[in-house]
Amino acid sequence: AALFLKQLTVSAKDRFQQVHHRADSLAAWLEVVDQVPTRRIEWLMQGASANLRRPRALLDEGDGDQSPTGELPAYSSYFSPKFNAGGGKDFQLELRVYPATASQAALEADGPVSPGSRKGTGDCGLFLWCPKGMQFSLRFYIADTWMTVEKALGDKTPTGFKRMGFLEDLINREDDTLRVGVELLEVIREISAQVSVSPTLAAITDTEDGGGERKKYLVGDGQEGAAPFDGALTFHRHVNHRVLPQVRKEVEKMQAKMVRRAEWQITNALALLASFPKLKPICSPIFQAAGVEGLQFVFYPNGYTGASEGFCSFFLFCPAGVTMKCQLGAGKQSRDTSNSFKEAAAFGRVNFCRLDSAVDTDTDSLILSLEIEELTQESKKQSNIAGGKAPNKALVLETAAPAPLIGSAVKLVRKVGRETLTEVNQLPGLWTAMALGDMVKKPADYQTYDTLPSKGRPPKGATAQTTEPPRAGKSSQPPPLLGAAATAPTDRGFGTVRSESTPALRSPSADTFMGSDR
């Protein structure tokens, strides 16, 4: 009896240990499951000015990643507490503070530096450490600065950005705090689980006719069956927190396919001649029409190269792979045009019309318009398979819209005489001085028409450059445009020349710079 009691005690202890171990495992998984809907995690760092310090070593003026000795510079790392999110566990944020460059140190040595006056890529970055077997799209935040990572893989190295801004500019001076965080836009995790016969499954011993014994297991609703086969199951967990933005974007694309006319109203139009000299354009906000994104109006109030005196130039910037037949309009003046854009470029008329004939003098406004008659857009698809090994389709983040077939094309044709759904895309009253094709200038912010000077004579240094108009009966060909082929102009008399061409939105330095990287 004592031996039996001892065996029973040992067996009970083992069972209780198994129960406790299973309870701890379930509690850990419940914590992970509870954090699956978590989308954004923020880490508030108190006393940022005193606790966050940069290393004293100085960096060279290169890309800021190497010291003058050629070695990687030291940086200060600050780690957040570990957390669970998106169906994964043991995530951790890392804030890195890099040394200052020589120019930054010299600027700070002169005295206090006002926020926003520092130049460069910054001295702090944010990274995320995550477990293996994950693929995700993330958005990192430091104060009001954010950057997005698409289709990153969880590995031994962290994922993030080295330069997101200057630490001194990102710290909140009111409470001396720094707020950093990460937003999980989309997460896929691969989980493997070993499958084995449950030890609590009791086998029923049956005696066969030959005297042998066989084991039977209860399966399903209590019926007898064979024992489960040992193996492993792999679960693919997909968490998507941006379904609504993706659906909204696709709906906007569907609505844009019904838009065959776009209008852009420029107010204070009589001041355009004084504000924009020759060869200086005023550009519209980027818009989409007929399902094509990345369209932009490029308007030269004083004309482009080869334009006659008093004439304006009007072009449409369009992405590659689009063949368009349309009408460009300025006020009551409209011109038919068609072009096949093999590469992203602008196409239109150098001598579009006289500016004074297009401006509405009653409202002092000018309406630029695009009306599409026929459009064909080609779709290209490139393979991203590296090393000849196809990726695991179960661990690939999918886009909201299916990928187009290789070599496919979408053609939209307006049938004359048929009533169809038509929408007019009215662009906002904003403008910029940089066209989409200008790859040299830095991106410029949009401005309102209130920034244009009032009516009057052009200011000094901004006088429009004019050329002598050609005489009737003689052909006057404008100088060739750099990087673009212009069609041969035809003599129309009345001292004007009609020409269609693509403006050179890229400077020679851009072509040289791009060629050096090849």
Q: Could you tell me which residue, 311 or 436, shows the higher pLDDT?
A: 311
Question: Please, is 340 exposed, middle or buried when counting C-beta atoms within 10 Å of its C-beta (0-12, 13-18, 19+)?
Answer: middle
262-296 confidence digits (pLDDT tens): 999 998 888 888 889 989 999 999 998 888 888 99
67-109 confidence digits (pLDDT tens): 334 444 578 889 999 888 877 778 899 999 888 777 777 776 6
Cα(397)–Cα(406) distance, integer angstroms: 20
Q: For residue 24, name the pLDDT band (cuts at 50, 70, 90).
A: confident
Domain ranges for the chain, please list them.
37-192, 254-379+405-470
Lowest mean pLDDT among 75-84, 178-187, 249-258, 341-350: 249-258
pLDDT value at 146 more than 60? yes
Q: What's the chain's average pLDDT?
A: 71
Dihedral, CA atoms, 161, 162, 163, 168, nearest 10 degrees? 110
Cα(356)–Cα(270) distance, integer angstroms: 8
pLDDT value at 149 more than 90? no
Concatenate the DSSP letters of all residues of 123-148 into one string.
SEEEEEE--SSEEEEEEEEETTEEEE
Give me the pLDDT at residue 405, please. 46
pLDDT value at 377 more than 70? yes
At which residue do the structure tokens 């030890």 appear? 199
202-214 confidence digits (pLDDT tens): 444 454 445 555 5
Q: Could you say which DSSP state residue 329 is in?
A: E
Which residues have CB under 8 Å from 127's CB, separation 6+?
93, 94, 96, 158, 159, 160, 161
404-424 confidence digits (pLDDT tens): 444 455 555 544 444 454 556
At which residue do the structure tokens 């990192």 appear? 140
Strands 177-195 and 231-240: antiparallel
At which residue do the structure tokens 């064979």 appear? 226
Element at 375 (helix H, strand E) = strand 365-378
Which residues have CB under 8 Å from 96's CB, separation 6+?
75, 76, 77, 78, 124, 125, 126, 127, 162
CATH number for the domain formed by residue range(s) 37-192: 2.60.210
Q: Record the pTM.
A: 0.52
The listed range with the strongest mean pLDDT (26-40, 240-254, 360-374, 493-507) is 360-374
User: Could you tell me if residue 424 is left (phi over 0), alpha (psi between -120 and 50 degrees) or otherwise beta?
Assistant: beta
Q: Could you tell me which residue, 59 or 192, shows the higher pLDDT?
A: 192
Strand order in the sheet with 213-219: 204-207, 213-219, 223-225
- Let me know if the fold of 37-192 is the same as that of 254-379+405-470: yes
Domain 254-379+405-470 has CATH 2.60.210.10: yes
Give me the pLDDT at residue 327, please. 93
